[in-house]
């Protein structure tokens, strides 16, 4: 099949493209900046310039494509991210219909069974994107994941960096909802299967073989890595304060941290697991959590593979974001100081910058 992959240089896209090529598909990828260093597999794909907010760019990129992977998400802050997501999805939907593209595969997040008014703005926006894409004549499969395990994944890097940098794990009581992590290689396999699965338009929840409270996930990480990190549950911590604290202690973009923190007000687990039968190869076994953590532990600051073609996709890859490799090297004490100032600023505006 001729397949367009949007977001191909992102964490998931950069690992999906090689699997598509390995399976014999012709791949076209998109970029907003042709001068940016190309991924290691770039000589095996066609790359076109595309701004997903530009309808003409999107229309040209989808011309001649049998299928499209929608792997872009508006994780930024500000009041207009939902409008940007809506416009991007609408542009893709119109191009899909215009060119008769037969399949759309969208990687989204778990949508908890809660009142829509209780869902975070980011979850609501992702669900809206799903609805826009599903309204096209194409067979549209939405894969909803919660926590992706793998070096370079935002979810995993938050767990890694918070565990390494905080001597005590402070978990707000509301944040200790259940999660169902999935190894990125299992998510990639499901995405690959979604390209040709003989099914109609629908969504699939995808998750690994274990579900647990988020605090237990942090404990599993520290147990496997040999870190001594006592855990304390704290009531009444506001969401924005937690997002500020975690954002300051880690190198993951703060807007992304805030979106992920907001989602943990709800259980982020599979409501159904049809993807195992519909999207995965017969006899395929999902990776257990302990193995997923161990295979994700390679330090991206020192262990980026010389030969990505044969490297473990659970580990670091050359195109992974800079914040996955230790970030700005700011000392832990300085990060903690920034975190405290950020919290003070949330509680007492104008006081967080006071140094005396």
**pLDDT tens digits along 219-240:** 999 999 999 998 888 776 776 7
Three-state SS for 117?
helix
Q: Is the pLDDT of residue 333 over 50?
A: no
CA angle 23-192-112, nearest 5°? 175
How confident is the model at residue 76, as a pLDDT?
Answer: 55
Is the pLDDT at 44 greater than 70, yes or no? yes
Torsion, Cα 154 160 162 166, to 10 degrees, reads -170
| Digit-coded pLDDT (tens) for 268-284 | 999 999 999 999 999 99
Q: Which H or E element spans position 27? A: strand 26-31
Q: Is the pLDDT of residue 103 over 60?
A: yes
pLDDT (0 to 100) of residue 153: 92
Pairing of β 139-145 and β 103-109? parallel
Is 139:104 a contact under the CB 8 Å cutoff? yes
Measure the CA angle with vertex 332, ends 330 and 334; round to 5°.
65
Whole-angstrom distance, CA of residue 134 vs CA of residue 140 = 5
Tokens of 168: 């005590």
What predicted TM-score, i.e. pTM, was given to this entire model? Answer: 0.88
Lowest-confidence segment of 56-70, 93-107, 126-140, 168-182 by average pLDDT: 168-182
Give the range among 196-205, 269-278, 291-300 with minimum mean pLDDT. Answer: 291-300
pLDDT (mean) for 300-323: 84
Q: What is the pLDDT of residue 352?
A: 46
Q: Name beta bridge partners: 19.
A: none
Place of tokens 């790359």: 47
Percent of the chain with pLDDT over 90: 60
Question: Mean of the pLDDT values across residues 242-257?
Answer: 76
């Amino acid at each position: 099949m001729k397949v367009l992959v949007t977001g191909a240089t992102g964490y998931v896209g950069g690992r999906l493209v090689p699997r598509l090529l390995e399976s014999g598909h012709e791949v076209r990828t998109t970029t907003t900046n042709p001068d940016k260093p190309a991924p290691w597999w770039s000589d095996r794909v066609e790359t076109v310039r595309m701004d997903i907010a530009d309808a003409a760019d999107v229309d040209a990129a989808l011309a001649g494509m049998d299928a499209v992977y929608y792997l872009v998400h508006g994780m930024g802050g500000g009041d207009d991210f939902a409008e940007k997501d809506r416009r991007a999805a609408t542009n893709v939907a119109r191009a899909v219909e215009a060119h008769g593209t037969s399949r759309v595969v969208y990687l989204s997040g778990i949508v908890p069974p809660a009142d829509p008014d209780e869902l975070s703005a980011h979850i609501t926006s992702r669900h809206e994107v799903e609805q826009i894409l599903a309204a096209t004549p194409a067979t549209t499969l939405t894969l909803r994941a919660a926590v992706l395990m793998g070096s370079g994944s935002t979810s995993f890097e938050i767990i890694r960096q918070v565990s390494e940098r905080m001597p005590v794990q402070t978990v707000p009581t509301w944040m200790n909802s259940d999660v169902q992590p999935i190894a990125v290689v299992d998510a990639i396999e499901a995405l690959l299967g979604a390209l040709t699965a003989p099914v109609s338009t629908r969504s699939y929840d995808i998750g690994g073989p274990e579900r647990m409270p988020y605090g237990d996930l942090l404990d599993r990480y520290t147990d496997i890595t040999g870190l001594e990190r006592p855990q304390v549950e704290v009531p009444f911590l506001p969401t924005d304060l937690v997002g500020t604290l975690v954002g300051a202690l880690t190198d993951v973009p703060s807007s992304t941290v805030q979106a992920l923190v907001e989602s943990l007000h709800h259980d982020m687990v599979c409501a159904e697991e049809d993807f195992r039968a519909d999207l995965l190869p017969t006899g395929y076994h999902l990776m257990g959590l302990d193995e997923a953590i161990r295979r994700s532990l390679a330090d991206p600051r020192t262990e980026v593979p010389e030969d990505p073609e044969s490297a473990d996709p659970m580990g670091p890859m050359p195109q992974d974001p800079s914040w996955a490799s230790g970030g700005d090297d700011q000392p832990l004490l300085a990060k903690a100081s920034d975190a405290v100032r950020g919290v003070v600023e949330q509680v007492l505006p104008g006081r967080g910058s006071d140094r005396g």
